[in-house]
């Protein structure tokens, strides 16, 4: 059994420490999902354009993902508690100012600043956890709870925002983040231990610059790809630049005596399986969250709050599945648990791939349960695989890789599955409308179709026909996107089952360049 070297005073309050870390985690994950519900109110108040609304959402994720690796490296060097507390201060300050924003550019800039704060909070939560729980079994349980909170936050954010908007103006959605951040900040100042590895965690300025430019270019290309067109010269040039910069980053890290990220880790099956699984799992998960809210509102006529509540079982079952995974891993091993969890998630998406505007909620609920439980069963062991491959001195960077995998997968899932929905919708709307005149008035997007239906009058046969065509066509696009997501997860599961996964039994003391060995 692994010897627990955690200081006694830290060991005694370890579960309270975990509570503070999970609260900090919920803050930033919910901040990534909750704004969508408030966008209609913001648009009315600030007269926002579609592009401005898009960047209010995207700038947070983009800045967050771009700074994760540097923030993790700085946390390892100067103190993980210090980085997390600094992130909470930045997040709270930007959220407070956003409450009083009067211009679109102000809100976009402040959302970017909250992304900076989130980038310092997120790696700190997992790296402090790794340095707090010395016992292997307790650490696996703590990671499972941490992962469950991450999944729950994505579903809980829209619900809380919807409830707030029933009583208050849109600015209150940012103020609640201030309250949560202050509670986490005060509790953390008392409870959280600080740790750093200044001798081993040497800064890598060139690696930082290359990582920021590479990830920034790739994310910008993915985010803008659907709007500019995936085959447009601009999209191709931006993504190609990102790939070139990424190659430059890898080349530099291989030659650097003190790399920010030891890329040799990707040759370790545990690390590569963990990071790939989280990327593809959240490709499907974020794509689902993005699509299902629209499907429920457009095809079923739900309000934003009703849609958020209807999708809540995804997060709740994720919270249930994560702690369960720790027990299953001890009995069946990482490969079986991760591989079967991916198949559970794929089954849920496959069920949702055949929906129509009249599909009962019972069918949707079944899909949500399978997707949520499968996500919980998969994410926690995958996180353990990543962190078990990283030396303690680099736990901040290891946490950043875990979080970056999630963000890149999520951005790609929203972009790709969103594009699939739009493409299927455009190809089916004309057939579902019928007449040539109706097809012309329907346009090529669901928004233009619904506006045409409203202009024709919802009480008229023409208006009703256009509205029904929009519902049917959007359901078709949603279904195809879900089938694609299911196929991605099945392919991921096959890769996981293909070979045994070695797990370092002393997780937090893994060597810098571990070798691949046989395992479970």
Higher pLDDT, 242 or 62: 242
Task: Give the 3-state secondary structure percentages of the chain, helix then strand then coil, rounded to 5.
Answer: 80, 0, 20
pLDDT at 515: 35
- For 108, phi then psi, to 5°, come to -65, -45
Predicted confidence (pLDDT) per residue in 363-420, tens digit: 999 999 999 999 999 998 998 888 888 777 677 777 888 888 888 888 888 888 888 8
Mean pLDDT across the chain: 84
Topology match between the domains 1-199 and 267-501? yes
Q: Angle at CA 367, nearest 5°, toward 363 and 373?
A: 140
The Cα–Cα gap between 205 and 211 comes to 10
Q: Where are the domains of the chain?
A: 1-199, 204-259, 267-501
Predicted confidence (pLDDT) per residue in 181-206, tens digit: 999 999 999 899 887 666 555 677 88
Q: Does pLDDT of 517 surpass 70?
A: no
Of the candidates 80, 153, 71, which has an alpha carbon nearest to the alpha carbon of residue 118?
A: 71
Within 13 Å and on the Cβ side, how many CA atoms surround 34?
26
Confidence band, pLDDT 50/70/90 cuts, at residue 504: low
Count of CB atoms situated within 10 Å of the CB of 177: 24
Query: What is the CATH code for 267-501?
Result: 1.20.1250.20
The Cα–Cα gap between 11 and 3 comes to 13
Helix (H, G, I), strand (E, B) or coil at 143: helix
Pick left, alpha or beta for residue 192 (phi over 0 → left; psi -120 to 50 → alpha; otherwise beta).
beta
As a whole number, mean pLDDT of residues 311-322 equals 89
DSSP 255-287: H-SS-SS-GGGGGSHHHHHHHHHHHHHHHHHHH
The Cα–Cα gap between 444 and 423 comes to 9
The Cα–Cα gap between 126 and 46 comes to 37
Q: Does pLDDT of 513 surpass 50?
A: no
Q: Does pLDDT of 443 surpass 60?
A: no
Predicted confidence (pLDDT) per residue in 265-282, tens digit: 888 888 889 999 999 999
pLDDT at 245: 94
pLDDT at 514: 37
Share of the chain above pLDDT 90, in %: 32
Helix (H, G, I), strand (E, B) or coil at 391: strand
Greatest mean pLDDT among 22-36, 241-255, 302-316 lies in 241-255
As a whole number, mean pLDDT of residues 147-174 equals 85
Q: Does pLDDT of 472 surpass 80?
A: yes
Higher pLDDT, 304 or 276: 276
Contact 285, 375 (CB under 8 A): yes
Q: Does pLDDT of 54 surpass 80?
A: no
Is CATH 2.60.40.10 correct for 1-199?
Answer: no
Helix (H, G, I), strand (E, B) or coil at 467: helix
DSSP 10-30: HHHTHHHHHHHHHHHHHHHHH
């Amino acid at each position: 059994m692994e010897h627990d070297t955690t200081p006694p005073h830290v060991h005694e309050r370890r579960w309270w420490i975990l509570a503070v870390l999970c609260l900090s985690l919920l803050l930033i994950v919910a901040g990534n999902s909750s704004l969508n519900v408030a966008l209609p109110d913001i648009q009315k108040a600030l007269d926002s354009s579609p592009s401005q609304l898009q960047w209010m959402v995207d700038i947070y994720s983009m800045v967050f993902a771009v700074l994760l690796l540097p923030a993790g490296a700085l946390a390892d060097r100067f103190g993980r508690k210090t980085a997390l507390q600094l992130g909470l201060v930045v997040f709270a300050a930007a959220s407070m100012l956003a409450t009083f924003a009067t211009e679109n550019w102000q809100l976009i800039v402040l959302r970017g600043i909250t992304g900076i704060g989130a980038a310092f909070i997120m790696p700190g939560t997992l790296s402090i956890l790794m340095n707090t729980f010395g016992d292997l079994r307790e650490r696996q349980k703590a990671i499972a709870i941490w992962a469950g909170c991450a999944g729950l936050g994505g579903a809980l954010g829209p619900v809380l925002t919807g409830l707030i908007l029933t009583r208050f103006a849109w600015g209150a959605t940012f103020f609640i983040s201030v309250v949560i951040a202050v509670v986490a900040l005060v509790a953390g100042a008392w409870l959280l231990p600080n740790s750093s590895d200044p001798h081993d965690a040497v800064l890598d300025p060139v690696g930082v610059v290359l990582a920021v430019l590479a990830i920034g270019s790739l994310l910008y290309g993915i985010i803008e790809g659907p709007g500019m067109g995936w085959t447009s010269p601009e999209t191709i040039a931006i993504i190609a630049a990102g790939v070139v910069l990424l190659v430059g980053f890898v080349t530099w890290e291989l030659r650097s005596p003190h790399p920010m990220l030891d890329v040799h880790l990707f040759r370790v099956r545990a690390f590569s399986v963990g990071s790939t699984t989280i990327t593809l799992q959240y490709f499907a998960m974020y794509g689902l969250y993005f699509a299902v809210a629209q499907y429920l509102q457009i095809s079923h006529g739900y309000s934003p709050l009703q849609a958020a509540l209807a999708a809540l079982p995804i997060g709740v079952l994720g919270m249930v599945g994560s702690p369960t995974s720790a027990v299953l891993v001890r009995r069946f091993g990482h490969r079986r648990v991760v591989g079967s969890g991916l198949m559970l998630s794929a089954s849920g998406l496959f069920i949702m791939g055949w929906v129509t505007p009249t599909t009962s909620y019972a069918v949707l609920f079944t899909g949500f349960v399978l997707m949520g439980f499968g996500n919980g069963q998969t994410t926690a062991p995958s996180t353990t695989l990543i962190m078990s491959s990283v030396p303690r001195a680099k736990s901040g960077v290891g946490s950043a890789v875990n979080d970056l995998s999630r963000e890149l997968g999520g951005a790609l899932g929203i972009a790709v599955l969103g594009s699939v929905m739009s493409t299927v919708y455009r190809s089916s709307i004309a057939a579902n409308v019928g007449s040539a005149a109706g097809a012309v008035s329907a346009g090529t997007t669901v928004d233009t179709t619904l506006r045409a239906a409203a202009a024709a009058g919802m009480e008229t046969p023409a208006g009703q026909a256009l509205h029904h065509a929009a519902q049917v066509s959007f359901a078709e696009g949603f279904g195809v996107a879900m089938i694609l997501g299911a196929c991605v997860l099945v392919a991921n599961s096959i890769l996981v089952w293909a070979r045994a996964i070695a797990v370092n039994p002393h997780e937090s003391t893994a060597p810098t360049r571990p070798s691949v060995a046989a395992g479970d």
